[in-house]
Amino acid sequence: MNSLLDKQHIELLTYQHIPYSDAWKIQEDLFNSKVQLKIYNRTATDLKPVSHHLILCTHPHVYTLGKSGLMEHLLLSNETLKQYETEFFNTNRGGDITYHGPGQIVGYPIFDLDQYYTDIGRYLRDLEEIIIRTIAHYNIVGGRIPGLTGVWIDIDSDHPRKICAMGIRASRWITMHGFALNVNTDLSFFNHIIPCGITDKEVTSIEKEIGVKVDEKEVQILIIKYFEEVFDSRVG
C-alpha cells in the first residue's frame, strides 16, 4: 500500500443531468489529449505526465449502442423516441445497447493503464469490484457471470439480475466510457430495448432490491471511496 503522498491522483469531475453528447465530448477531449501526450513521450526527452480523470454524472434519458451492438435491439422508432423525450447515440465503446437516465450513476474513468497495469480484463474486473463493494453497503450481494461484463445479483438463482452495465474503449492503454449503476432508475425504460443484447435476464436497481429510494450522493461517495481502495489512488 502506497503512502498518501505516493498514491497516484485521479481528478474527479462531477455533473448532474448532463446531456450524453456533452459528457462524450468531455471524455473524447480528455482521451485524445492523453493519447497525444503518450505519443509525444515516446520520443521526447522532456516527458510530460499523463493524468487520470474520473467523471461521475447522471444523464437525461438516452439509449446508447456499442460498436458491436445490433440496431434491432432498440425497440422504439424515431417518432416514439421523441415521444419519450429520449435520445439515441451510436458510440465507440464496446458492448451492445443500454439505457442511461435520472437515478442512475454513470462513471467514465479516463485512466492511463500503463501507470497501473496493462490488462483490460483486470481493469473490467476492478470496475466490477468497485460496484460490488458499493452495493454491499446496502446489503446487496453482487457477483459476476462468466462471459458477461457488469455486476449481477442472485447469480446462482434462476433469476439473475444486472444492476450495473459496463462498456469501455481503450487505445494506447488510455480508457474511456465505463459503467452505469442503477440506483433509483426508472427501470421501465429498459423495456424498450434488449439490454446489452441479453434476452433471458432482467435489469434491477438498488431501490428495487431494498424497497426504498437511496441517497444518490451517498452512493457517489461510496464509489469514490472504492475507486481509491481498488486503484490505490487519491480521488478528488
Residues with a catalytic annotation lie at: 196
Do you know the residue count of the chain? 236
Q: What are phi and psi of 52, to 5 degrees?
A: -115, 145
